[in-house]
Structures are given as structure tokens and as C-alpha cells.
């Protein structure tokens, strides 16, 4: 029976009319059916071999489609982010043109948003709204590592700072002769013995420390050579970063990992990165709590309880992955869906959903084993899966209709199996002298259904149900049975005139 994705709100649609997410939901539903068939097949039989083959084929189809959907989603997000960066750059340029300063909070907020989206704030040029350059060295403060210290090396003219009143520095053009007037760049001004010109390539030492932690020796050597060139040619850091884009390291690493590597290993970021770690740690823990997810404190390898240190290491591992990949909440949820072997749910939105689904399944006579619950948990965590809580509600109803087909009409009208069999349950509890909550669905339904004259399952009449329960071996040991047998014996004796 072909079944479309449930809970999607679009009714029955043809496969070529479905969105990728709807196709994924439908494929996930099909995979679940094949998984159950494979799990229930008898080992070493043709049916088992067939079920295994169909399950593996369904899983492969699901994994391939899931990867396509995730790739498309990431590309769409990147395109959206790029569009937003372009809009923010325009907003920034207009504000500066209208007189705003780089130090204004509004500009800082815009810059923060641009950087968060993976962009770089672009300083504007021209007279109106020209980016601030405090030291007058031609490098806007926004990208100047030392915005309050002039750096002659970044101008066309270079020269040494002489002793007070003796050495001159050419303002522009070629190097001024030592102790005298610049030969081409004009008369050197009076040197200031208190002014110290800092080498603009001081950033190189920080970058050497940063890339010292790189594991790949060849990549590390390539970057070291590039840093040597930067030092010799007096590059600024921005020039180096542009050249870095041509290295194997840059071209083979994901952008999020490159950003994480630079941010976490650069000594200049020690304080800010530490604060980011603290903030992200709190955010991830809150996310886990909101989802009702707690890490399993039993080591899946040894089966032993983990120490607090081991447990925290596992939590920190999730946090590190989140920061390294710069995940959104949705992407974190997606990652957690692949780690159901080390997490379990309770409380929160996911835990509450599973409890509600489990309660509903019971009311419809459907039993959920641990593997099935794990599958439901994964689908609720994975935002790309498509099987939400409403999907599982419909799935429980559908399974109930298949298991108990004589009651399908009532189930399709919105009644639960529990409601429709309550009288049967009460009668069975009364006859067997037991609490109705202890009656299992299998025990109840084997008497509530019978084989009809056409060979198909049918509802038992109340009288047939009562008769069947009294034939149950358990009934023979009840007071009800003893009283029945006693009354029958007395009636027989009266018929023979033995008792009055």
C-alpha cells in the first residue's frame, strides 16, 4: 500500500510534485517499514534474505536523499547569508557616507552581524564618509593592527628614525639619507627621540605561533615560507591573508574549520575566545536541556558508569564540535540525531513528545520496543527527517488499523482502540478477578476478535467474548468459576430430585 508523508499538511501528492523534504519524509516512512520487516523476519530463510536486501536498499536511498537535502539546505543558507552580507555592507556604506564614524555603536553592530555571517566589513573610500585613519599611515583603523601608531613601511618612502634633531625621515618617495635630508622625498623633518616606530610585521610572530599547531607538516612548511616572504616584503596582515587563500590548507579545509582554527590558536584571541567558549557552553547546555536530552552516563564500550571527568569530556566534545562547525540550533539538533547511542531523552520538548507518542501508541494497541523508540527519537531530533510528532500520531493509528482491522472503521473516525474495547476489558477483568490495567493487549484482543465466516478477522460479540474468556485456564481458578460450577451442580441435583 503506497503511503504518502503524513503530517505535512499537503494531502496526497505525486512524487514529482513533492518538495525534497516531503520526499525525504516519504522515504523515511518506507525505510521504517522495511526495518520492521527485516527485524521480524526469521533467520536463515528466504524471507529474511529478501527483507535484508530490501532494508539495505531502502536505507541507501534514504541516506542518499538525506545527503542531497542537507547539501541543498546548506547551499540555500549560504546564498541567504551572502545576500544579507551584501545588504548590510550597503547599509554600512550609507551610514558612513551620512557622517557616521567607525567607532559608532551602530557601525559596530553592523560589523558584528557581517562577521557572524562570514563576511568582512568593507571600508568605503572617497572624501565623503572616508574611513577613519587615526595615525595617518593610509591604513583605515578598521583593518589597521596598530591604528594609533604610524607605520612608514606601508608608505612608498622609508627611513630610519634619527636621534633628536639630527636624523630625518622622508615624508614620501625614496629613502632619506641617514642623518640628512631625504634625497627625493623632500627635506626630512626633525626627528623625535620619544617616538618609536613599530614594525608593522609584528603580526607575523603571532601567525607563526598560530600555525605551529597545524598537524600536517607539509602544509605547515608552506605557510612558514609564506610568512617568511611576508616578513621580507613588509606585508600587512591583510595582504598575507589574501595570499593564504592560495595555500593547500586554505583550499582543502571547510570555511568554518578555518575560522575556528585561526580564532582558537591565535594568541591575540585568547581572552575573547575563552569568553566565546563559556558563552557557547552555556548555550549548548541550555539547548540540550530544552530538547530534554541528557548524555548516557553508561560507557557504551565497557558498560560501566562513567566518572564525572569522563562525562564532562563527552559534553565538552559536543560543545567543541558545535563551536568548530559554527552550528545553528537546527544543525546541532541534526548532529545529535546521529549520536543517539550516547544520548537519551527525558523532559523537555523531545522527551515530552516521546512520552505522548508512547501513550498514544498504547491507547491504539501498538507496542513500541526500545529500537522503535530510538528510531522515533532520531526522527524528532533530525530537523531534515520530516517525521514530526504529528506524523507519529498518524503512524500509530495506521498500524492499529492494520493490526485490528475489524475496528478500523471506528479508528478512522477518531476513536481509540481503548475506547472501543473498554467493555471487553472491564468484563475480562471482572471474570478473571484482576485489575484491568494489568490486562495486556494481546490477551484482550485474542478474544475480542475472531475469524469470520469469510475467513477474515471479525469482531467478537460480547457473548462470544465472555464465553472465550471463561475457557481461559486462568478463569478455572477464580471464585467466579467455583460459584458457577457449584450452582450448576445444585441445579443438576434438583433436576434429579436429590435436593429440594
pLDDT tens digits, one per residue of 471-495 = 877 766 676 766 665 555 546 555 5
Count how many Cα atoms sit within 13 Å of the Cα of residue 416 in the half-sphere of its side chain. Answer: 13
Beta bridge pairs of residue 457: 451
Range in 105-109, 261-265, 482-486 the model is least confident about: 482-486
Which of 42-46, 241-245, 315-319 shows the lowest mean pLDDT across its residues?
Answer: 315-319
Q: Is the pLDDT of residue 215 over 70?
A: yes
Angle, helices 270-290 vs 255-265, to 10°: value is 130
Query: What is d(CA 122, CA 107) in angstroms, rounded to the nearest whole number?
Result: 11
Question: How far apart (Å, rounded) are the C-alpha atoms in residues 243 and 231?
Answer: 13
Computed over every residue of the chain, the mean pLDDT equals 73
| pTM for the predicted model, two decimal places | 0.37
Q: What is the pLDDT of residue 445?
A: 92
Mind listing the pLDDT tens digit for each residue in 351-360?
Answer: 567 778 888 9
Q: Tell which residue, 88, 96, 82, 78, has the closest CA to residue 113.
A: 88
The three cell numbers of residue 445 are 484482543
Q: Which residues have a Cβ under 8 Å from the Cβ of 191 and sit 6 or more positions away?
A: 161, 162, 163, 164, 165, 166, 167, 168, 169
Contact 52, 36 (CB under 8 A): no
What gap in Å lies between CA 203 and CA 270, rounded to an integer? 15
Find residue 344's DSSP bridge partners: 294
**Measured CA distances, 264 to 209, 233, 250, 261, 495 (Å):** 11, 27, 16, 5, 99
What 8-state DSSP symbol labels residue 176? Answer: B
Q: How would residue 147 be classed by pLDDT, with cut points 50, 70 and 90?
A: low
pLDDT higher than threshold 70 for residue 16: no
Instruction: Give the pLDDT band of residue 402 (cuts 50, 70, 90).
Output: very high
Residue 406: band (very low, low, confident or very high) from pLDDT cuts 50, 70, 90: very high
Helices 389-403 and 348-363: angle between axes, nearest 10 degrees: 20
* Rounded percentage of the chain residues whose pLDDT exceeds 90: 13
pLDDT at 380 over 50: yes
Q: Which residue has the higher pLDDT, 349 or 183?
A: 349
Q: What is the pLDDT of residue 280?
A: 76
Those residues with Cβ within 8 angstroms of residue 398's Cβ, 6 or more apart along the chain or in another chain: 3, 6
Tell me the average pLDDT across 392-418.
92
Residue 450 dihedral angles phi and psi, to the nearest 5° = -145, 175
Question: Residue 127: pLDDT band by 50, 70, 90 thresholds?
Answer: very low
Q: Which residue has the higher pLDDT, 136 or 436?
A: 436
pLDDT interval class at 318 (50, 70, 90): confident
User: Taking residues 301-322, what's their average pLDDT?
Assistant: 71
Which string of DSSP letters, residue by residue, matches 24-82? HHHHHHHHHHHHHHHHHSPTTSHHHHHHHHHHHHHHHHHHHHHHHHHHHHHHHHHHHHH
Largest CA distance in the chain: 149
Q: Tell me the C-alpha to C-alpha distance, in Å, between residue 7 and each of 62, 84, 374, 378, 387.
A: 19, 32, 20, 17, 8
| Residue 176 predicted with pLDDT over 60 | no
Amino acid at each position: 500500500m503506497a503511503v504518502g508523508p503524513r503530517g505535512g499538511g499537503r494531502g496526497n501528492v505525486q512524487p514529482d510534485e513533492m518538495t525534497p523534504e516531503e520526499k525525504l519524509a516519504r522515504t523515511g516512512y518506507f525505510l521504517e517499514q522495511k526495518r520492521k520487516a527485516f527485524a521480524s523476519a526469521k533467520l536463515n530463510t528466504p524471507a529474511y534474505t529478501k527483507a535484508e536486501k530490501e532494508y539495505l536498499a531502502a536505507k541507501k536511498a534514504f541516506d542518499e536523499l538525506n545527503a542531497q537535502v542537507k547539501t541543498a539546505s546548506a547551499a540555500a543558507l549560504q546564498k541567504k547569508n551572502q545576500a544579507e552580507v551584501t545588504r548590510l555592507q550597503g547599509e554600512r556604506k550609507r551610514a558612513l557616507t551620512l557622517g557616521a564614524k567607525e567607532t559608532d555603536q551602530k557601525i559596530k553592530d553592523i560589523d558584528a552581524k557581517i562577521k557572524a555571517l562570514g563576511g568582512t566589513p568593507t571600508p568605503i573610500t572617497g572624501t565623503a564618509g572616508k574611513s577613519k585613519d587615526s595615525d595617518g599611515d593610509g591604513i583605515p583603523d578598521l583593518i589597521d593592527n596598530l591604528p594609533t601608531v604610524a607605520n612608514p613601511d606601508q608608505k612608498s618612502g622609508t627611513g630610519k628614525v634619527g636621534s633628536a634633531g639630527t636624523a630625518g625621515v622622508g615624508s614620501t618617495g625614496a629613502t632619506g639619507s641617514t642623518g640628512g635630508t631625504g634625497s627625493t622625498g623632500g627635506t626630512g623633518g626633525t626627528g623625535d627621540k620619544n617616538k618609536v616606530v613599530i614594525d608593522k610585521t609584528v603580526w607575523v610572530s603571532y601567525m607563526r605561533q598560530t600555525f605551529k599547531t597545524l598537524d600536517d607538516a607539509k602544509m605547515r612548511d608552506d605557510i612558514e615560507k609564506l610568512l617568511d616572504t611576508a616578513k621580507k616584503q613588509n606585508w600587512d596582515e591583510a595582504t598575507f591573508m589574501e595570499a593564504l587563500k592560495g595555500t593547500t590548507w586554505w583550499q582543502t579545509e571547510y570555511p568554518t574549520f578555518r575560522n575556528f582554527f585561526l580564532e582558537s590558536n591565535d594568541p591575540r584571541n585568547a581572552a575573547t575566545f575563552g569568553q566565546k567558549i563559556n558563552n557557547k557552553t552555556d548555550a549548548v547546555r541550555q539547548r540540550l536541556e530544552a530538547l530534554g536530552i541528557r548524555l548516557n552516563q553508561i560507557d557504551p564500550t565497557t558498560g560501566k558508569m562513567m566518572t564525572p571527568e569522563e562525562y564532562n569530556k563527552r559534553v565538552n566534545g559536543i560543545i567543541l564540535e558545535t563551536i568548530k562547525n559554527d552550528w545553528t540550533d537546527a544543525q546541532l539538533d541534526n548532529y545529535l540525531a546521529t549520536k543517539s547511542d550516547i544520548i537519551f531523552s527525558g523532559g523537555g520538548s523531545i522527551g515530552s513528545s516521546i512520552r505522548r507518542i508512547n501513550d498514544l501508541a498504547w491507547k491504539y494497541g501498538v507496542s513500541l520496543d526500545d529500537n522503535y523508540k530510538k528510531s522515533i527519537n532520531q526522527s524528532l531530533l533530525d530537523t531534515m527527517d520530516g517525521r514530526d510528532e504529528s506524523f507519529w500520531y498518524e503512524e500509530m493509528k495506521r498500524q492499529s488499523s492494520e493490526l485490528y482491522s475489524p475496528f478500523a472503521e471506528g479508528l478512522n473516525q477518531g476513536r481509540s482502540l481503548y475506547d472501543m474495547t473498554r467493555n471487553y476489558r472491564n468484563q475480562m477483568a471482572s471474570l478473571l478477578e484482576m485489575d484491568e490495567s494489568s490486562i495486556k493487549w494481546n490477551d484482550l484482543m485474542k478474544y475480542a476478535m475472531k475469524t469470520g465466516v469469510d475467513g477474515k478477522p471479525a469482531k467478537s460479540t460480547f457473548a462470544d467474548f465472555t464465553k472465550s474468556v471463561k475457557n481461559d485456564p486462568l478463569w478455572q481458578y477464580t471464585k467466579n468459576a467455583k460459584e458457577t460450577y457449584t450452582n450448576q451442580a445444585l441445579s443438576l441435583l434438583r433436576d434429579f430430585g436429590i435436593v429440594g
